Structure 1
């Protein structure tokens, strides 16, 4: 008598779903990190450029150079806004997938708990059958001795 969990296929499907969502979550974390790093670099570049502009203004700077730097800073601000939106979207996606991973993990745990309980029942039945067989053998041996 071999043990067969009646929801084994469902458990396997739930585990594969959990693993797929976990992989998606890890990918979204990487995307978030890339976007956040790009935003950080853009902000750092803007800060450095503004600091250089302040220093050059104290030393004297032509209007042409001021316009050129302001144009560059404006372009950098647009890039920063783009990366900020990208970071927000990546964070939302990451948080959503984290919630899904948690839900799938709970589902898998439920099926694993059912599996454990079902296996314990199976083992109990095996022990009971084994006990009955041993009782029958004992009775047979007792009856054979009596003859």
Structure 2
């Protein structure tokens, strides 16, 4: 298989890795944003609860606020797990992408080196032909 074909294959793998990384990054951002929103809601609810305690409020209202805060805590714990998994997946996709970049660069370098070698061989061959022509020309003039 020619190196250019392998390079094209590696470039396709790199493009696929870029797409997968971008998707995992987007998923992470969505989940992290959702977690941030829940944390803000919890902060607001806790502030409201604290102000409620300083006033005289019905016990049912206080229980309701505590239940809401506890429900937010459960959602936050669940979302933190999702965020951690999404982060791990994003990091794995980043690693795969980095590896794909390295592979493409390796093949580009090998192709470049082979082209340089081929150019050197061609120049050497041309130089040899020029030397032969010069010798023939010299010999034909001296006869």
Which TM-score applies when normalising by structure 2? 0.89
Q: Note the alpha carbon deviations across 1:16-46, whole angstroms, 9 max, x for none.
A: 1012102211221121122112111111110
8 Å CA contact 2:28–2:90 kept in 1: the answer is: yes
Cα distance in 2 between the residues matched to 1:6 and 1:129 = 24
Instruction: Find the counterpart in structure 1 of residue 21 from structure 2.
Output: 25
Q: State how far apart, in whole Å, the 2-side matches of 1:81 and 1:113 are.
A: 48
State the aligned residue count.
143
Query: Mean alpha-carbon deviation: is it higher for 74-83 or for 137-146?
Result: 137-146
CA distance in 1, matches of 2:81, 2:113: 48
Counterpart pick for 1:72 among 68, 71, 78: 68
Q: Does 1:129 align with 2:115?
A: no
* Match among 88, 92, 108 for residue 88 of structure 2: 92
Give the Cα separation in 1 of the matches to 2:100 and 2:41.
Answer: 41
1:25-79, Cα deviation, whole Å (9 max, x unpaired): 1221121122112111111110111111110110111112112212222221222
- Quote the RMSD (CA, aligned, Å): 1.8
Q: 5+ unaligned residues in a row in structure 2: which ranges?
A: none
Q: 1:124 Cα shift? A: 0.7
Q: Report the CA distance between 1:90 and its aligned residue.
A: 0.5
